Amino acid sequence: MEAKISKSKISKIENPKSKMSGAQQRITVLLACLFCACATGIGAQRGGPVDDWPYYGHDPGGMRYSPLVEINRENVARLKVAWVFHTSDISDGSHGRKRSGFETTPIVVDGTLYLTTPFNRVIALDPETGSQRWAYDPKIDLTLPYGDELINRGVAAWLDRARRAGQPCHRRIFEATLDGRLISLDAASGMPCADFGQGGQVSLRDVARYVPGAYHITSPPTVVDDLVVVGSGIDDNTRADMPSGVVRAFDARTGAPRWNWDPVPPNPTGSAGSGKGRTWLTGAANAWSV
């Protein structure tokens, strides 16, 4: 089986000024193949089942398994490029910026593909054509000395069952940024959800010994029921008294803090700390991954 798509289906949104490396171009092409063909393309064209990819690892358990059978060992080598989308968010390490890396894992929810860029922009695409539906720029400071350079690994989605379909922020997209913010966006429009925190965002910078750049977030939040859980990235081996590596949960609707868990024991003989207050300590033990 071979997926054939006419030239009219190829997205014409390349930026001629973009200086993408060969590796970055290959990553972009790979994303186009996998998500257009696997998530909506072949299945939709033939009237077969369509499987969303609503989590970083496909499902809450991160199993990374899709039940679709249209792409298999026999035909995977014959996949063709459906479209290519260029974000143009690239840094070679000059002009006071860190180097960038394209490490996002897109999610597909309700017929829209969501991804992030190294500059922490969130972009929504039509997964069949590659056309952009909206983009949101949190405008992070690109010159801060982020320990993991300029990267972002994706977003999380949450359905607010207290709102009707069609209402703003019925479906929300959450991003945790390099500069220490948790942002809630309306999945349909990309506008910040005003009832979340302050104008759609919650500051994560109120940790002990916060240092801009040394404390940062690179991975997508984790959604558990009506909670959004975030860890952090902490610079390694740069100072003795590092920012806290606390893991925190927030109300997915309001942004109110719900609990925190500190991997550093409150005392030398105790276990990891938890509670509703700001009990976290200093130290670089942290959970940066998904």
pLDDT of amino acid 189: 98
pLDDT of amino acid 50: 72
Please check whether residue 20 lies inside any domain of the structure. no
Q: Which two three-digit tokens encode residue 194?
A: 């005003």
Q: What 3-state class would DSSP assign to 229?
A: strand
pLDDT of amino acid 13: 38
Distances (CA, A) of 112 to 62, 91, 196: 20, 27, 22
Give the closest residue to 114 by CA, choosing from 133, 100, 99, 96.
133
Please check whether residue 270 lies inside any domain of the structure. yes
Please check whether residue 17 lies inside any domain of the structure. no
Q: By CB neighbour count within 10 A (0-12 exposed, 13-18 middle, 19+ buried), where does 81 fall?
A: middle
Q: Whole-model pTM above 0.85? A: no
> Could you give the count of Cα atoms lying within 13 Å of 22 in the half-sphere of its Cβ?
0
Q: What distance in Å separates the CA atoms of residue 39 and residue 127, rounded to the nearest whole number?
A: 8
Distances (CA, A) of 238 to 142, 197, 205, 212, 214: 20, 32, 19, 13, 9
**Stretch 249-260: mean pLDDT:** 97
Beta bridge partners of 158: 172
Looking at the 3D structure of the chain, how many domains does it have? 1
Q: Kindly tell me if the per-residue pLDDT of 86 is higher than 80.
A: yes
pLDDT of amino acid 83: 97
Q: Kindly tell me if the per-residue pLDDT of 88 is higher than 70.
A: yes
**Stretch 147-162: mean pLDDT:** 95
pLDDT of amino acid 19: 44
Give the closest residue to 55 by CA, choosing from 221, 270, 171, 289.
221
Q: Kindly tell me if the per-residue pLDDT of 289 is higher than 70.
A: yes
pLDDT of amino acid 196: 98
Domain range enclosing 112: 99-290
Please check whether residue 86 lies inside any domain of the structure. no
pLDDT of amino acid 10: 33
pLDDT of amino acid 113: 98
Contact indicator for 185, 200 with CB cutoff of 8 Å: yes
Q: Which residue has the higher pLDDT, 29 or 162?
A: 162
- Got the DSSP string for 70-131? SS-TTTGGG-------------BS-TT--BB------EEETTEEEEE-TT--EEEE-TTT--
Give the closest residue to 253 by CA, choosing from 190, 135, 174.
174
Please check whether residue 71 lies inside any domain of the structure. no
pLDDT above 90 covers a percentage of the chain that reads: 56
pLDDT of amino acid 262: 81
> What is the dihedral angle through the alpha carbons of 191, 194, 195, 199, rounded to the nearest 10 degrees?
120
pLDDT digits (tens, 9 = 90+) for 21-39: 544 544 454 554 454 444 4
pLDDT of amino acid 250: 98
Q: Kindly tell me if the per-residue pLDDT of 213 is higher than 90.
A: no
Please check whether residue 220 lies inside any domain of the structure. yes
pLDDT digits (tens, 9 = 90+) for 217-232: 999 999 999 999 999 8
Please check whether residue 65 lies inside any domain of the structure. no
Domain harbouring 143, CATH code? 2.40.128.630
Q: Kindly tell me if the per-residue pLDDT of 274 is higher than 90.
A: no
Q: Which two three-digit tokens encode residue 121?
A: 């922009």
Q: What distance in Å separates the CA atoms of residue 175 and residue 284, rounded to the nearest whole number?
A: 22
Please check whether residue 223 lies inside any domain of the structure. yes
